[in-house]
Structure 1
Amino acid sequence: MNGHATTARRPVITAWSAVSPFGIGRSAFADGLRKRESAAAPLDRAKWQAAGDTAFLVPGFELRDVLGRKGTRSMDRVTGLAVATAGRLLDDAPRNRRVGTGPDAGLVLGTTTGSVQSQMDFTRDSLTGEKPYFVDPACFPNAVMNCAAGQSAIWHQLKGPNTTIAGGHAAGLYALNYSRRLLDFGRASTVLCGAVEEFSPARTWLDSRAHVPATDGAPTVPGEGCALLLVEQAAAADPEQPVLAEVLAVELRIALGGAVRTALAACLDRALRRAGVHPEEIWAVSTSEASGPAGEQERDAVEAVLAGGNPLRLTQVGLIGDTGAAAAAFQVAGALVHAQDDPDAAGRVALVTSVDRGGAVGCALLRIGPPAADSHH
C-alpha cells in the first residue's frame, strides 16, 4: 500500500478547490474555516427522508443550477459534486486549466462505495418496476462506483489515467498516494486528486444501522462535499509553478482487531523516517477527529510520536460534519488554508492523519510552501 521509493523530485500541490457545506468554491471553504461557524442546518423533511434532523449540506447545490441543464438529467448528486469541484479548480487560475487538462492529465477520486443512494434506487427499481423494462437504463451508470470520476474526466477533458479508490474516511490519502505513484512512474504529468461524498437518505439510514456506540462513540452529523488538489512533479524550470505544499510522505495501513494506535504509530514512524522530518518540525496536525475509542487511539498515537513537538491542532468536523470519504481531502485543504494565514508555517510540515471504522489508517506529511505561494489566485 505504500508508494514507490521517493525520487529526487517529490510531488507538489499547486492548487486546490472544494465544494463544501460552507459553499461552492475554494474561497467559500477558506472563509468558512476562518469564521469558525458551524454549517449545520435543519433538514427539509419534504425533500430528505433521512435519519436525523440536521445535516451539513452544500447550500444551494441543485445540479441544474450549478452545472446547467445539458448532461445533468440523469446525473446523481455525488457525480455533480465531483464535476462541479473539478470545474472550480480548473477555472480558479489560467494555469490550472492549461496544465490540468489534456492527454497527460489524470484524475484520482476517493470514495466509500460511490453513490449508495443510486445503487439502492436502481436495485429497488429492478424489483418493483413495470415489465418489460423494469429500470431506467440512463440511471445505471450512477450505480457504478467509478461514475463520478468518469463523468468528471469526460466533462473537463481529463484524458490521462482515471481512477476511483475506495477507502472510507482515509480515501483522500489513498488518492494522494496513488497520484504520487502515477507521477513517479510518468503515467501522468498532472493529477486532480481528492475525494467526494454525497448526503443522501440511504447513507444516513445505513450509518444509523451500522453505528455501534461501544466502538464508534457518539454519532456524528453527516456532511457532504468534494475537495480536489492539483498535484504535479516539482519543476524548477517552471517559474510559474506555485508550490502550496510538497508531498513528503504518505503512509497507509490496516488496523487489525481495532488496534488503531499501533497501526497509526507505525505509519507515523515510517513517514517521519522516510521524509527525514523531526517531530519539532511539525507545524500543525489535522486528525480525522474520529469519535469513540478509535479517535482516542488516533490522538494517543499522534501524541506519542510527536512527543518532541508542540504543533497547532487543526479541527473542522464540528464545522462541516462527518464528510465520509471526503474527510481526509478536506483535512488537507484545511491545512492549506491555515498555512496561508500563518507566517510561521512556511517551510514547516503539516501532518494529516485519518482513521476509518473499516480499519484503514494513514497519514501524510506536507511541507508548506513559501508565503506567496497562493498569490496566483
Structure 2
Amino acid sequence: MSSDTMGAARRPVITAWSAVSPFGMGRAAFVEGMHEGGETAVRIDREQWQVPDERARLVPGFSPRAALGRKGTRSMDRVTGLAVSAVGALLDDAERNREVATGDRGAVVLGTTTGSAQSMMDFTRDSLTGEQPYFVDPAQMPNTVMNCAAGQCAIRHRIKGPNATIAGGRLAGLLALNYARRLLGAGRAEAVLCGSAEEYSNERAWLEWHTRGDEEKPALLGEGAGMLLLEPEESVAAEHVLAEVLAVESGVFAEGRLPMVLGSRLRRAMDRAGVDPSQVWAAVPCGAGDVLGERERGVLAEVFGTAALERVRNTELFGDASAASVSLQIASVLAVAEQTPDVAGRVAVVTAVERDGGTGCALLRLR
C-alpha cells in the first residue's frame, strides 16, 4: 500500500484549491473561517432532518439547486452537489485553472466513503415498499452508484480525461491524492482535479449512531468537499505553485497497533522525501473524536513535537467530515500558510485514521 516513488521531473505540485465547508462556499470563505474561527455547529432542523443528532456542522444553506441552479439538479443528491460545487469554485477562482484542468488534458479523482448512503438506501427502500419492486424513480438510479459524483463533476465542467472514484472513509482524500500522483507520473493526464466529498444525511447520521463503539465519543458530524489542482512541476511556472507533494503513504493496523503503524508510515514518508522531523512546520490530524484520534495526536506529538500540532488551528470546526477530512485538512494547511510569513520551504504533514484499521499520511513542502 506504499506510494510509488515519482521522478523529480513528474513530481506533482498543487497550483490551486477550493473547498465547500461549514465555513461556506469557496476558497475565500474557507480562508476567513480558518483565521477567524467562530462556531459552525448548528441545531438540527427537525423539519429537514430526521436524525438522532442535536447539532451538526453543515454547509450553510446548501442544496444542489441553490448552489448550482435548476438545470440538471432535480434529482442530484447532496454529495454530488457538494463535489460539483467544489470543482466549480476551483475552476472559477482563476482563468488559468479552467484552461489547464478541463478538456482532454484534465482528469478527476474523487475520494468518498460509499457515495451517497442516503440515495442507496432510499432507492432500496422504494424497491421493497412499492407495489412492485420495479416501481422506483429511474432518475434516482445514477445516484446509487459510487462514482456518480465524480462523473457529474466531469460532465458539468467538461473534463474529458481519466475519471476515478476512490473509497476509503477518512483515508479517501489520501488515497485519491496518491492515485492522482500516479496518473500524472504515468503521463495519463496533464492536470488532475483531486479531492474528496462527504454529505450529511439522515442515513449517514443513523449509520454513525448505530455503528459507534462503546469507547467512541459522540462526534459532531460535518460535511463538505475539498478540491486540489495537481500538475507536474516541470509544466508550471514557479509563481503558480502553492505546495509540492513529497510523499503519500498508507497502511493497515490491527487493534492496538495504530501508533506503531502510523509511526512507520511517517518515517517511511520522510525517508522517501528526504525530510527530517525538524523541518516539519505543521502536523494536522484528521480529528477523529475517539481513542484513535487521541492516539493519532499522540504519535504526531511524539514525532514532531506539540508545537507542530498548534500551527493549523480551527480544523475541528468542520467536524467529523469522514471522506472529506483529508482534503479539508490540506486546504487548512494552504489557507493558514497563505497568511503566515516565512513558511516557504517548510513541510506540513496531514494524517488520517479509520476505525476499520486504515491509516496514512501525506507530506507537502510549502512554496
Hey, what's the Cα distance between the residues in 2 that align with 1:88 and 1:306? 34
Structure 2 residue aligned with 1:92 = 93
Whether contact under 8 Å (1:110, 1:175) holds in the other structure is: yes
Hey, what's the Cα distance between the residues in 2 that align with 1:132 and 1:365? 49
Equivalent residue letter for 1:220: A
- Say whether 1:229 aligns with 2:228: yes
Equivalent residue letter for 1:287: P
From the superposition, tell whether residues 345 and 132 of structure 1 become closer, same or farther in structure 2 (CA, over 3 Å).
closer
1:72-151 alignment, distance < 5 Å: 72-131=73-132, 133-151=134-152
- The count of corresponding residues between Structure 1 and Structure 2 is 365
Structure 2 residue aligned with 1:159 = 160
Structure 1 residue aligned with 2:2 = 2
Structure 2 residue aligned with 1:211 = 212
Structure 1 residue aligned with 2:192 = 191
Tell me the alpha carbon deviations over residues 206-243 of structure 1, each in whole angstroms, 9 at most, x when there is no partner: 000001132x3x111111010000001002x6437611
* 3-state secondary structure, aligned to 2:240: coil
- The Cα of 1:84 is off from its aligned counterpart by 0.8
Hey, what's the Cα distance between the residues in 1 that align with 2:193 and 2:277? 30
Structure 2 residue aligned with 1:292 = 290
What is the identity percentage for the equivalent residue pairs of Structure 1 and Structure 2?
A: 54
* 3-state secondary structure, aligned to 1:256: coil
- The Cα of 1:292 is off from its aligned counterpart by 2.7
- The Cα of 1:315 is off from its aligned counterpart by 3.6
Equivalent residue letter for 1:192: L
Tell me the alpha carbon deviations over residues 124-183 of structure 1, each in whole angstroms, 9 at most, x when there is no partner: 000012337421111011011110001111111111111100111111111111100100
Whether contact under 8 Å (1:287, 1:315) holds in the other structure is: no
- Say whether 1:276 aligns with 2:274: yes
* 3-state secondary structure, aligned to 1:70: coil
- The Cα of 1:306 is off from its aligned counterpart by 2.5
Hey, what's the Cα distance between the residues in 1 that align with 2:318 and 2:32? 13
Tell me the alpha carbon deviations over residues 273-312 of structure 1, each in whole angstroms, 9 at most, x when there is no partner: 00000111001111112233212221222233336x9525
Whether contact under 8 Å (1:269, 1:305) holds in the other structure is: no
From the superposition, tell whether residues 258 and 117 of structure 1 become closer, same or farther in structure 2 (CA, over 3 Å).
farther
Hey, what's the Cα distance between the residues in 2 that align with 1:144 and 1:164? 10
Equivalent residue letter for 1:229: L
* 3-state secondary structure, aligned to 1:78: helix
Structure 2 residue aligned with 1:375 = none
Structure 2 residue aligned with 1:373 = none
Counterpart among 251, 275, 278 of residue 249 in structure 2: 251
1:217-366 alignment, distance < 5 Å: 218-235=217-234, 238-239=236-237, 242-306=240-304, 310-313=307-310, 314-366=312-364
Structure 2 residue aligned with 1:374 = none
* 3-state secondary structure, aligned to 2:219: coil
Hey, what's the Cα distance between the residues in 2 that align with 1:317 and 1:276? 28
TM-score (norm 2): 0.96
* 3-state secondary structure, aligned to 2:225: strand
Hey, what's the Cα distance between the residues in 1 that align with 2:225 and 2:236? 29
Q: Which runs of 5+ in 1 are unaligned?
A: 370-377
From the superposition, tell whether residues 102 and 260 of structure 1 become closer, same or farther in structure 2 (CA, over 3 Å).
same
Structure 2 residue aligned with 1:367 = 365
Equivalent residue letter for 2:219: T
Whether contact under 8 Å (2:250, 2:360) holds in the other structure is: yes
TM-score (norm 1): 0.94
Q: Which moved more, 1:110-119 or 1:132-141?
A: 132-141
What value does the CA root-mean-square deviation take over the aligned residues?
A: 1.5
